[in-house]
Structure 1
Amino acid sequence: MPDVSFMDVIWHFKNVNTMKAKDMRTFIIILFFIFLWQNGVAQSIVVDEYIHYGSFGIRTPLMNDPVDLNKKPFDFKSLMNQSLPVAVYAGKGEIVKTDNEGRITIRSSDESHRIGLLTFYMDAPVYCTPELQFEGLPEVAELYLNGKIQALQKGSAKLTLEPIRHELVIKYIAEPCKAYTIRTTIQDSVGLSPQATTNPSKRYSIYEVVNGRRIQSARISPDGKYYFVRYYHVFPDGKREEYAELIEAKSHKQVRTKNTSLKWMPASNLLYYVEEGAKGIDLITVDPATWQERTVASGLPTKSFTLSPTEDFIIYSKTDNGSAEKNAVKQVLHPDDRSRGWRNRSFLYKYDLQTGVIERLTFGRTSTSLQDISPDGRYLLFSSWNSDYTETPFICSTFCLFDLQKMKADTLLYNDRHVSRMAFSPDGKKLSVLASADAFDGLGRNLPDGQIINSYDKQLYLYDIATGQAEALTKEFDPSVKSVAWNRYDNLLYMTAEEGDKVLLYTIHPEKKQITPIKTTEEMVSEISFSSNSPDLIYYGVGLSNTQRLYSLDLKKRQEKLLHDVSAEILENVRLGEAGDWSFISSRGDSIPGRYYLPVDFDATKKYPMITYYYGGTNPTTRRLEGHYAPHVFAGMSFVVYVVQPRGSTGYGQELSARHVNDWGKKNADEIIEGVLKFCEEHPFVDKTKLGCVGASYGGFMTMYLQTVTDIFAAAVSHAGISNISAYWGEGLSGHSYSAIASAGNYPWNAEELYAGQSPLYRADKINTPLLLLHGTADTNVPTGQSYEMFMALKMLGKETALVVVDGENHGITNHANRIRWSQTMYAWFNKWLKDRPEWWEALYPEKDL
């Protein structure tokens, strides 16, 4: 049909007022059909090609008896389940094109029945419920949608399609010496019919995020000759399988095992595991070359322990249970008494693997935790902690050096509020210390006097055990340290650190204090493991547009080698849109970094709705392909995505991360709004009337707060967001400890403007944007009441809102089925308000007359 409009028709008839009756009827009829055409009513598409696999001859079994044990005769259709499983053979075979009328012919030319598959794909641009109509199918035929059988009645099937690519398979049995002329038609009424194709390429979706194989951990042997890699695989039905592979570095020979508990011994090149034996718990070593096992100790007191570097003893924790309240009426002794197990205390024990002697090492009213064991096995580094609300941070830790020979401990740090972790150097004389900039009397501070640090911005120090003196190693280093480990081979420190929205790998020379970046392919280094006797390291990581890849790295030659490309498996046939960096200079003169993601098959001449994603809290939104709010998934549904990094997050230097303290949305909101407007101004393909935003936790707070200060958004989503800062501070299990940093020095009784004035709940009357509130009912971090309160307020104010809770889920949605439904809820909300496509939302949450 030609591209015509109402104005074209009106111009053709020129003057409606002077039309004759006959012309008027013609005019109305034409307008009616143009309306149907432009609104996509009853569109029809004929499938014009298939992938045909078959046909293969099948025979009926020998009939020993006319009926089976249940007195039922043989059902020929049962042969459908015995051959050509759809999950294996769908999409295999040759492409067969139809004739001019959209028909193909399949024949069973001999006297046997023949079974085969006809596959095609449907790419649905929006949520839709098309009807498939089939002509000429064999009498025995089944229809599968994405591997699941569908009801096929009288040659038709009603489908429900999300806006992704779908696989359709017709499985048939052809009768002997018979031909079938098949035609498939897609009937759709939403206006954007799914396209039929034999091209298996697809857009990135939630199913690529939650399904498939992933690396769980990767460890290299002490001599660098073997890698032990643990995997998990999530199947479409949510079932999870775990296994591991032992890989020989030189030959790349792989051996798969179900024993995922295997670990490397600290020094010898053996794997070990524990299991219940005849004499209790056995410690068993495994030779990676021969897989020969040897029990080296029996009667261990526990399966959970730390093996000493000398391999002759283990250190483990044992819990003493505190007094439990037996009555329904219970006194809460401490704010942390709400947490399960707070009244219990853990203490350290030593078990000698040769003699079987157990020594209790610590005793008292305060729990002790192992930090590290010295390389010679003589000393332990342990910590204990308690709460003190007289100043922030509230947690006070004491670190002690314990001599196992003398059974004597020296206190290194007492009631320290800033140190997180300590570890021995290879010679046992120094300690690496992970802490905030205020540690050691502010030794690591790189801020103006009086400015409060962001304690989540971690620094690295070197502590001399003999002198008790510390040195700041990263004071002038902007990235925030995430992890640190000593390498016995070269005596260097290796650390991963947030550099902006990346996590990169660095070495630090402890004597020269020199920080050197190690070039890696991946922008997000997830985990490293190095050999203690060779210059070899393995790591895996992810990137902006790829998931996990595993590498080996020669630290001398600085040569990297790809070992396993998990990403290639996950992204097989997946098309991703363009993604890149985009920053702007704010009105305050700051460079505000960010990223953009464009839809697949992007056309700069078109207008697209845009979703803005942010966190706004203490950490940056990193360059990770996957995640609960994966930008490429939104882009796959034809949204432009803008990820903005407002100031206050770690990874950009101490001064910028410190801006998070006591801001609670004010400056962040300004920067997000300014970024959205400037992005739209520079990119005319964004429809400024169809802007959405989404965030979770502190980002959920930002979603709610943003709607109280701007009306630029047409839809907003908050997951587990904070609506009432005071309630979160007092009720969330970590509310008071997080607020000790985010609201340092301020409390509900001395900072009403912050706790009430910046709480979205107290500004709910200013919200005009349709707001979706999502929350897990078992959230212990940000209690569900935070969303209930905002929902109540918006309902009373008559504002557009919806609340969806997920039973049993905590701060993040982890259950496989729940995760998919939760994600669909978010997608459907944006489709409703940013694309004027309410069908998906209405299907998920139909109106109820209550």
Structure 2
Amino acid sequence: MHGRMMTVLTVCLVFGMTAIHAVEKRALTFDDLIACKRLKDPRISPNGKRIAFTAQIMNEAENNSHTDIYLIGTDGKGLRRFSDGEKSASSPRWSPDGRLAFLSGGQIWLQSITDEKPTQLTSHYTGVDEFIWSPDGRQIAFTSRVYPELGDDQAAMEKKDKDIENSQVKARVYEDLLYRHWDTWWDHKRSHLFILDVASGDFRDLTPGNYDVPPIALSGGFAFSPDSRYLVFTSNHSKMVAASTDNDVWRVPVIGGDLELMSTSCKDRDFSGNESDPQFSPDGRYLSFLSMKRAGFESDKPDLFILDMKRGKFKNLTEDKDIRIESYAWLPDSKSLLLRIDEQARLKIKRLDLKKGRLTELVSPGNNRYLSVSPDGKTFAYLHERTTRPFELYVGSTRDGSSRQLTHFNDQLLANVEMNDIEDFWFNGAKGDKVHGFIVKPPFFDESKKYPAVFFVHGGPQGAWQDEWHYRWNIQMWAAQGYVMVMINPRGSTGYGQKFTDEISKDWGGKAFQDIVAGQSYVLDSFSFIDSQRIAAAGASFGGYMMNWIEGHMDAFRVPFKTLVNHDGTFNLYTNFLTTEELWFPEWEFNGPYWEDEEYYKKWSPHNYVNNFKTPMLIIHGEHDYRLAYTEGLMPFTALRRKGIPAKLVIFPDETHFVTKPQNSRFWHETIFDWLDSYLK
């Protein structure tokens, strides 16, 4: 009898503990999202024993963020904050002798890992944007925005800025494009490449002239030659930069002198497209860079080229590989490289054998960013995230890809948060082609219940939903509201071969739209727990365009969406051409300026289909969005309300194409979820 009672008591305790544990689990909240530490920029030390990286934390009360530099051993031991915690510090860069330079307050500082106080290396009036060490440790190359006509004269630049600030005339005057970019009006400064002598503090401008290093967009990166005698960088010297992707690779001696164009033509390429990320092989024999073949197309396939510096011959290492390289890094033996590759909603890491051309997969699941290779070439540091976890620091083997997690910054915060992994699916889209998507179920999912669903459409359009932890469009955050989240990667998405990516251009409302229509039908047929009478769609940028397009073509769907959420979407392709800044984009997508060829502007512009508008829409736009001017949000709102259709317009006067300030982000989430709940619950 006593034994039975003990058994019953034990069972009760076990079930009780299980119940308590279940109660402790909860859905993700905005407080969780804002509290996550955001890791970036891992760098392995010259002796291979430590990794420096940054961790950013958002401060909602002050509506800003703070970034610190951390150190950890490659064995996972000895984690500590390296920066003092008072001012933000970023861009940790190891000197060849093992000291750490970093940016704080727009200047370069240098500190031994055993010292408590850093030494300031620069007092550059215009500040420092990026920097790298020379291999011999004697020099630092950095970029800074300057008035090109004033050269190295810091005093003259300061005087000019003060004169402008003190003037009562605030007019901006322009005579050419680009007069503004992303979120900023052009201040007539150019980004130039400087060289700093570390011992003396002397510096000089290596790229004087009326052009930017790096270019305004698409391209970047600069590197020393292994002998520290030269720098390579990218720059666009086109007459009409606003309409050109012709970013080239250049070389300049560190002592100063004429620039030398390195990306000259070869038998199968004239290098009139976008070149980026120039690097030297560790032995100095090769200059490598990524190259897009087609001029004006920012989403062409990035091929990896090498230039044999002795023979003067180019070789395309990935000509026969239909892959999309996001970044790469040389291994110390100069015989192989690591590549980060966008592939079917994952960012994978693979090793490329230079001689054999063989690709070996090292890291495949999730989203993997950054590459820092150890001096012995045996390991590499990277950041890894999944839909259910933000970035943490890992080290992997360059031989077999075996990996080990080093940091656990967000484990405790998210330990009791209930989240579901993504579930992949494939279906037949336009023309019967296979299209990929995935769903995320809400927390505490019950197969026997019916759930509302939200269909996400990504931006780009050349982009993709991935297995990632996103801070602006966090899938788990939306699923936590009780929605089944559906992410489809339609025509134009990256990671499915270049042909698939190409098929969006000049066809914005065509096959990509048909893919979404077919995807909706497949999802409703395949997932019986979705309530087909409670579905919505949402998207930003191109996704916002697609909301406007869906609004005018809702009858194509088997089941109409109850409501749409449009963030910074294009409404009128004509007006967008005249207000956007990177003109190469619409000129490629719609076959030139509209006055030269109107066909695709007229065919695919949502404003031509206002007659068909009938679905309630939430419209959000940032006033400092110069990619898609906020008037693109005013127009559909005016059309909807004039027609008597429910709509809400939210304009953020202090945000850009993205909503990033913590308090604005909370308001953004609350506004969207309140709107969706009113139609789906």
* TM category, shorter: 0.7 to 0.9
Residue 464 of structure 1 is aligned with which of 308, 317, 320?
308
Distance 1:274 1:240 in 2: 15
| 2:672 aligns with one of 826, 834, 843 | 826
| Secondary structure of residue in 1 paired with 2:24 | coil
Aligned partner of 2:13 in structure 1 is none
Residues 224-303 of structure 1 mapped to structure 2, 5 A cutoff: 224-234=48-58, 237=61, 240-250=65-75, 252-259=77-84, 260-261=89-90, 263-273=92-102, 284-286=110-112, 288=113, 290-291=114-115
Deviates more, 1:760-769 or 1:331-340: 331-340
Q: Distance in 1 between matches of 2:443 and 2:116?
A: 52
1:396 match: 246
For residues 426-458 of structure 1, what are the alpha-carbon distances to aligned partners after superposition, in whole Å with 9 as ceiling and x for unaligned? 12221111121438xxxxxxxxxxxx9663442
**Conserved in 1, the CA contact under 8 Å of 2:68 and 2:90?**
no
- SS of 1:582's equivalent in the other structure is strand
Write the letter of the residue equivalent to 2:423: G
383, 390, 402: which one aligns with 1:547:
390
Q: Is the 2:508–2:604 contact (alpha carbons within 8 Å) kept by the matching residues of 1? A: yes
| Alignment correspondent of 1:559 | 402
Could you say what the CA RMSD is over the residues aligned between the two structures, in angstroms?
A: 3.2
Closer/same/farther in 2, CA of residues 401 and 750 from structure 1, 3 Å limit: closer
- Structure 2 counterpart SS, 1:660: coil
Task: Say if 2:396 and 2:403, in contact at 8 Å, map to a contact too.
Answer: yes
Contact 2:542 2:570 survives alignment (8 Å) = yes
Matched residue type, 2:247: S
Task: Specify the SS of the correspondent of 1:738.
Answer: helix
Are residues 670 and 243 of structure 1, via their aligned partners in 2, closer, same or farther at CA, if it must alter by over 3 Å?
Answer: same
| 1:746 maps to amino acid | G
> Does 2:592 align with 1:739?
no
Q: Distance in 1 between matches of 2:578 and 2:56?
A: 38
Q: Which residue of 2 aligns with 1:377?
A: 228
Distance 2:676 2:109 in 1: 54
Aligned to 1:333: 175
Cα distance in 2 between the residues matched to 1:341 and 1:749: 26
When normalised by structure 1's length, the TM-score is 0.67
Give the direction of change, closer, same or farther, for the CA distance of 1:579–1:406 in structure 2 (3 Å limit). Answer: closer
Corresponding residue of 2:289: 433
Report the AA paired with residue 250 of structure 2: C
Q: 1:634: which partner in 2?
A: 478
CA contact under 8 A between 2:148 and 2:210: conserved in structure 1? no
Greater displacement, 655-664 / 532-541: 532-541
Q: Hey, what does 1:213 align to over in structure 2?
A: 37
Task: Determine which structure has more spread, i.e. the larger CA radius of gyration.
Answer: 1
What is the TM-score of this pair, normalised by structure 2?
0.83
Aligned equivalents of 2:478 and 2:125: distance in 1?
51
- Give the match for residue 17 of structure 1: none
| Partner Cα separation in structure 1 for residue 646 and residue 327 of structure 2 | 44
Structure 1 residues 814 and 359, CA gap change in structure 2 (3 angstroms)? closer
Is 1:202–2:26 an aligned residue pair? yes
Once the two structures are superposed, residues 453-479 of structure 1 have per-residue CA deviations (whole angstroms, 9 ceiling, x without a partner) of 663442222222344432222233333
Percent pairwise identity: 23
Give the match for residue 566 of structure 2: 718
CA distance in 2: counterparts of 1:378 and 1:806, whole angstroms: 48
Residues 302-358 of structure 1, C-alpha deviation per residue, up to 9 Å, x if partnerless? 863432111112223455426899866665311212453463234444333345554
Amino acid at match of 1:416: S
Q: In structure 2, how many angstroms separate the alpha carbons of the residues matched to 1:376 and 1:523?
A: 38
Q: Report Cα offsets for 1:187-242 as digits up to 9, x if no partner.
A: xxxxxxxxx99933211233322223221332211121112232122356456443
Q: Which blocks of at least 5 consecutive residues in structure 2 are unaligned?
A: 1-15, 150-159, 215-220, 265-270
CA contact (8 A) 1:720 1:775 kept: yes
Q: Report the CA distance between 1:518 and its aligned residue.
A: 0.8
Superposed CA offset, 1:549-590 (max 9, x none): 221223346431111133423322111135300110125121
Contact 1:336 1:342 in 2 (8 A): no
Change (3 A) 1:538 1:398: closer
Give the direction of change, closer, same or farther, for the CA distance of 1:232–1:299 in structure 2 (3 Å limit): closer
Cα distance, 1:256–1:292 mapped onto 2, change above 3 Å: closer
Q: C-alpha offsets along residues 739-795 of structure 1, whole Å, 9 cap, x if unaligned?
A: 13322x333124434213321122112021111111112211111100101111112
Distance, in Å, in 2 between the alignment partners of 1:675 and 1:293 is 58
Q: Secondary structure at the match of 2:178?
A: helix
Structure 1 residues 355 and 636: alpha-carbon distance in aligned structure 2, compared to 1, 3 A threshold = closer
Q: What are the within-5 Å matches in structure 2 for residues 662-701 of structure 1?
A: 662-701=506-545
* Contact residue 76 and residue 406 of structure 2 kept, 8 A: no
Letter paired with 2:196: Y
Q: Could you say what secondary structure the match of 1:680 adopts?
A: helix
**2:352 matched to which residue of 1?**
508
Q: Distance in 2 between matches of 1:584 and 1:481?
A: 26
Aligned mate of 2:552, from 699, 708, 721 = 708
> Helix, strand or coil for the counterpart of 2:503?
helix
Q: 1:235 to 1:395 in 2, by over 3 A?
A: closer
Q: Does the CA contact (< 8 Å) of 1:454 and 1:661 recur in 2?
A: no
Unaligned runs of 5+ in 1: 1-96, 98-195, 440-451, 836-850
In 2, Cα distance between the equivalents of 1:235 and 1:349?
Answer: 34
1:606-656 deviation line (CA, Å, top 9, x unaligned): 222111011261111111133323222222222112111101122111111
Give the 5 Å matches for 1:409-488: 409-413=259-263, 416-438=272-294, 455-488=299-332
Tell me, yes or no, if the aligned pair for 1:457 and 1:650 is still in contact at 8 Å.
no
Which of 607, 610, 628 in structure 1 is aligned with 2:453? 610
Q: Is the 8 A contact 1:779 1:811 kept in 2?
A: yes
Displacement of 1:256 in angstroms is 2.5
- In structure 1, the partner of 2:237 is 386
Q: 1:715: Cα distance to partner?
A: 0.8
In 2, Cα distance between the equivalents of 1:219 and 1:406? 29
8 Å contact kept, 2:544–2:565: yes
For 1:79-118, what aligned pairs fall within 5 Å after superposition? none
**Stretch moving more, 303-312 or 641-650:** 303-312
Cα distance, 1:465–1:309 mapped onto 2, change above 3 Å: same
Structure-1 residue corresponding to 2:615: 769
* Aligned 8 A contact 1:478 1:651 in 2: no
2:624 corresponds to: 778
Q: Distance in 2 between matches of 1:682 and 1:431?
A: 50
CA gap of 1:716–1:271, structure 2 versus 1, over 3 A, is: same
Counterparts of 1:436 and 1:778 in 2: how far apart (Å)? 30
Q: Any idea what the Cα deviations from partners look like across 1:804-840, whole Å, max 9, x if unmatched?
A: 11221111101111101111111111111111xxxxx
Residues 306 and 314, structure 2, Cα contact 8 Å, conserved in 1: yes
The 8 Å contact of residues 491 and 500 in structure 2, kept in 1 or not, is answered as yes
How many residues in Structure 1 have an aligned counterpart in Structure 2? 621
Decide whether the 8 Å contact of 1:314 with 1:352 is kept in 2.
Answer: yes
Q: Separation in 2 of the partners of 1:575 and 1:282? A: 42
Is the strand fraction higher in 1 or 2?
A: 1
- 1 CA distance for matches of 2:118 and 2:172? 51
Relative contact order, higher structure (CA 8 A, sep 6+): 2
Q: Would the alpha carbon gap of residues 416 and 233 (structure 1) be closer, same or farther in structure 2, given more than 3 Å must change?
A: same
In structure 1, C-alpha distance between the alignment counterparts of 2:640 and 2:256, rounded to whole Å: 66
Conserved in 2, the CA contact under 8 Å of 1:527 and 1:541? no
The alpha-carbon distance between structure 1 residues 715 and 697, as it changes in their structure 2 partners (threshold 3 A), is same
Paired with 2:438 and 2:676, the residues of 1 have a C-alpha distance of 20
| Offset at residue 660 of structure 1 (A) | 1.7
Instruction: Go from structure 1 to structure 2 and tell me whether the alpha carbon gap of 1:332 and 1:350 turns closer, same or farther (over 3 Å shift).
Output: closer
Task: Provide closer, same or farther for how the CA distance between residues 590 and 403 of structure 1 changes in structure 2, counting only shifts above 3 A.
Answer: same
Q: Aligned pair in 2 of structure 1 residues 352, 722: CA closer, same or farther (>3 Å)?
A: same
Contact 2:69/2:82, CA 8 A, preserved across alignment: yes
Question: Does the 8 Å contact 1:489/1:534 carry over to 2?
Answer: yes
Helix, strand or coil for the counterpart of 1:423?
strand
